[in-house]
Structure 1
Amino acid sequence: MAQADTARAVTPPSQTEIGAKAAELRAQATDVQTQVRTQRAALEAARGQALTDQAAYQAATASIVSRLQVGTPKGNPRLVAAAADATARLDAVEGDQTRVRALADDVRRTGERAAAILGETRRTLTLSGAVEEDHALLHEVEDETNGLVVQLARLNREVDADVARQTQLIGVERKRLAALQVSIQRGELVPGAAVTSSAAAAPAAERTAAATPAPEKKTERPLVVIRFDRPDVAYGPQLTTVTKEALTRVPGAKFQVDAVAPRKKGEATDKARAAAQKEIDGVVKVLVDAGVARDRITTGTRSSGTATGPEVHIYVR
């Protein structure tokens, strides 16, 4: 980042209207850069807290399992209290997930802002009345903002992956806690109560893959997740950048584009599925414009336990 700061100091704004606009765009890009740093730090802090809370939860449940394994009276009040403590610790893990979800929303909004700055910078480059210094400054802003778009795409993928892992962990452990509570009332372990919490280290789909293989797209991480939770989501520039990066790494890559809706049944889910399907053509057009051959793009629909509204997920094969 120090190099980028030095680069920005090379070209001061001129006294033209274009120069003033370029200076304004530079200030906006600098602000976005600060937001990216803050959000990256917030993600690392959230990960550290999640690990701490998960470890505390696992220790609490392990002590209950150990006591049940050696024998204990039915409904032992000490174990009832220990189960309540374990529940509170799992609630803390769920609170960590809520904070990461909020961070995901912040990262997406920052990504949209970066894309808007990039678009405005390119538009300003086409305006009349600029001097050479104006274009030099605008090109610097364009390069810096392009880099921010890439950073935000990566950060968005990491946040989404963390949310998915935590969702799987909480779902598995809520069921285990229920089994532990039944075990305490019976004074002996029941099936499902003694399973160790490996969900913190790997998604549930990965843990069960050997026994029940799942379709590839359900276990692999999407290249991009686009959430259409507001009108006019500005995903085009960010998706273009990420797609070109993927093509640079794998020139012959194939892309799977899925319209995704929540797994729950009901009218809201039906509307979300229809809304996601309407966005497919626009997403495919961006991929084609970015250099993906149309015959290397397939589309589909599916549901997701982590989706809260209409989404489009893009996978590279």
Structure 2
Amino acid sequence: MVFRISRPIALTAALFVAGCSFIDESLMPALTGDDAEATGAPVPIAASEAEKNPDPTLSPAGAGAATLPANAPPVLGSTNFVTPGVTAAPNTGTFVGQKVAVLRSELGALQERLKLRNQQLQQIRNTTTSNSQAYHGTIAAVNARLQVGTTPGNPILINQWNQAQLQLERIGADISSMNSLANAVASDSSMSAYLLESTRAAYGLSGAIEEDHRQLAILEDETNRTVVLVDRLLNELSEDISRQTAYVGNERANLTTLSHSIKNGELLGASLANRAYLSTGPVASSSPVASTSTQNFNAGNRQPLVVIRFDRENVPYEQALYTAVNRTLQSRPQSVFDVVAVAPMTGGAADVALNQTKATRNARKVLRSLTDMGLPASRVNLTTASSGQAVTSEVHIYVR
């Protein structure tokens, strides 16, 4: 098998492996030609003022989340929620004064619960950070071993993958703890809103003296600050839960791709799902489950992105296939792929039928590879075709 790589994706030339060929006329700009020789020696660029600063200013936690590596855990909130406290005051003995005393006691109890919620939140954050560090340490060890190459199905890497999966499940359990805490804080939020409404309603009660209203004003202010504190706690919890949930979902997809890499003994990269779901627009009108068409595929003027020739057993096509599809999704996240089983039209009717069966089997193998790499099934269509020019079973991948 021979690789054919068109001029627009010359960067993949380093991935030449017998069996696959890449062709793409529009996905990426040309990177070769006469202008490439005009680059010359590198031109030194002076350091900027920010780079010269010996004491740079660091952004607050969370501000730089967008610049973190793609495989880094999301930054958790760092606020330490401290209650404003409740000002003690003597009971005036009036009916309103007794009402103020009851409201003050209830506000104090609420703030004690909020102190406990804050302690629980800080503990969950510490645990989540520890679990994330352990998980990424294990993943880094697996990737480092795959990067230099290893044997297919290395049992050491399989054990490390199982350990990483358990560590990721611990992070998922931390999300459940956050959800439970958020439910408890939501109950506290209802209580704080009730106390604020009751405090304001107490101004309208008859039989109050000036001291009662003075205490009510202080209590209203402290209750209002407590309401704001609870709202901020809920918002930060909600953001943490949302980020962590998306993070764990992406890492589960990455683990699936990493499992495929361990099986082959070579590093592929992050799950293609991380690329495929970057766009929120409609991705395909086809069925979410790829189906096989018995009709000949009509490519028209389209050029295949990848051509895999199965002219021998165990064709090493997956690294080259991953690179081509990954680059396509980088430039066109909404791409849909047609996997076409191309059978040669040689021999008698029995030979043609046998060739079609073999080509379909190989195309399904490529389809499984794509889904193992994280590409959603809704992005892939599996069809068949016959060719008078093909001399062996081939699989063509087209982009649309």
**TM-score, normalisation: structure 1:** 0.58
| Cα offset, 1:190, TM superposition | 2.6
| Cα offset, 1:144, TM superposition | 0.6
Closer, same or farther in 2 for the Cα pair 1:2/1:156, shift >3 Å?
closer
Report the aligned-residue RMSD: 2.5
In 1, Cα distance between equivalents of 2:278 and 2:212:
60
The equivalent of 1:151 in structure 2 is 229
In 1, Cα distance between equivalents of 2:196 and 2:204:
13
The equivalent of 1:165 in structure 2 is 243
Q: How does 1:1-80 map to 2 (within 5 A)?
A: 4-5=85-86, 8-9=87-88, 11-80=89-158
Contact 1:18 1:129 in 2 (8 A): yes
- Report whether the alignment pairs 1:85 with 2:163: yes
Contact 1:60 1:82 in 2 (8 A): yes
In 2, Cα distance between equivalents of 1:3 and 1:147:
7
The equivalent of 2:211 in structure 1 is 133
Q: What are the superposed Cα offsets for residues 144-182 of structure 1, whole Å, 9 maximum, x if unpaired?
A: 100001111111111111001101110110001011111
Contact 1:65 1:193 in 2 (8 A): no
| Cα offset, 1:212, TM superposition | 6.0
| Cα offset, 1:131, TM superposition | 2.1
| Cα offset, 1:96, TM superposition | 0.9
| Cα offset, 1:70, TM superposition | 1.6
The letter of the residue matching 1:32 is: L
For 1:192, what is the secondary structure of its paired residue? coil
Q: Larger Cα Rg: Structure 1 or Structure 2? A: 2
Contact 1:176 1:193 in 2 (8 A): yes
Q: What are the superposed Cα offsets for residues 171-222 of structure 1, whole Å, 9 maximum, x if unpaired?
A: 1100010111111111112342699xxxxxxxx8xxx8xx96879xxxxxxx
In 2, Cα distance between equivalents of 1:68 and 1:191:
10
The equivalent of 2:47 in structure 1 is none
Q: What are the superposed Cα offsets for residues 211-262 of structure 1, whole Å, 9 maximum, x if unpaired?
A: 96879xxxxxxxxxxxxxxxxxxxxxxxxxxxxxxxxxxxxxxxxxxxxxxx
In 1, Cα distance between equivalents of 2:238 and 2:209:
43
Q: How does 1:297-316 map to 2 (within 5 A)?
A: none
Closer, same or farther in 2 for the Cα pair 1:73/1:177, shift >3 Å?
same
Report the structure, 1 or 2, having the larger helix content. 1
- Report whether the alignment pairs 1:119 with 2:172: no
Closer, same or farther in 2 for the Cα pair 1:193/1:67, shift >3 Å?
farther
Q: How does 1:269-288 map to 2 (within 5 A)?
A: none
| Cα offset, 1:17, TM superposition | 2.2
- Report whether the alignment pairs 1:192 with 2:270: yes
| Cα offset, 1:85, TM superposition | 0.3
Contact 1:22 1:137 in 2 (8 A): yes
The letter of the residue matching 2:198 is: E
- Report whether the alignment pairs 1:94 with 2:172: yes
Q: How does 1:245-260 map to 2 (within 5 A)?
A: none
| Cα offset, 1:136, TM superposition | 1.9
For 2:198, what is the secondary structure of its paired residue? helix
In 2, Cα distance between equivalents of 1:162 and 1:212:
20
- Report whether the alignment pairs 1:175 with 2:175: no
Which structure 2 segments of 5+ residues have no match?
A: 1-81, 282-400
The letter of the residue matching 1:132 is: E
In 1, Cα distance between equivalents of 2:214 and 2:91:
10
Closer, same or farther in 2 for the Cα pair 1:81/1:193, shift >3 Å?
farther
The equivalent of 1:313 in structure 2 is none
The letter of the residue matching 1:45 is: Q
In 2, Cα distance between equivalents of 1:88 and 1:194:
22
Which structure 1 segments of 5+ residues have no match?
A: 196-203, 216-317
The letter of the residue matching 1:169 is: Y
Closer, same or farther in 2 for the Cα pair 1:122/1:193, shift >3 Å?
closer
